[in-house]
Amino acid sequence: MWSFIHVDDAARATVAALTQGGSGAYNIVDDDPARVSDWIPALAAAVGAPRPFRLPAFIARLAAGSYGVTTMTEAQGATNELAKQELGWSPQHASWREGFRTALS
């Protein structure tokens, strides 16, 4: 699972954290963590590229190495609940799907 954020949402969250947040860290992400198998084809479509083909992990390891495969298949999405509760922040772009369509099309 991967988490994304629109740059405008990240900027608003930064201002909120600096002006009203306590000490500590906040996950500033959208509301829609995504599997690589979902977001890569959507990214390709948004930029007009052909749909990428899938590779078995053992073949991908030859090109990307174990770290690359692990990053693409085992990463965990983040939650923005603390930022919502403590900062009163929420993303205006709630999903990477919207961001890919509007920013990259």
- pTM comes to 0.79
Number of domains in the chain: 1
Domain that holds residue 54: 7-104
2 part of a folded domain: no
> pLDDT tens digits, residue range 1-32?
899 999 999 999 999 999 998 888 999 999 99
Helices (H) and strands (E) in the chain — how many of each? 5, 0
Nearest CA to 60 out of 51, 70, 75 is that of 70
Q: Please indicate, yes or no, if residue 1 is contained in any of the structural domains.
A: no
43 inside domain: yes
Identify whether 27 is part of a domain: yes
Question: Per the domain annotation, does 70 fall within a domain?
Answer: yes
49-66 pLDDT, tens digit per residue, is 999 988 888 999 998 999
Classify residue 25: in a domain, yes or no.
yes
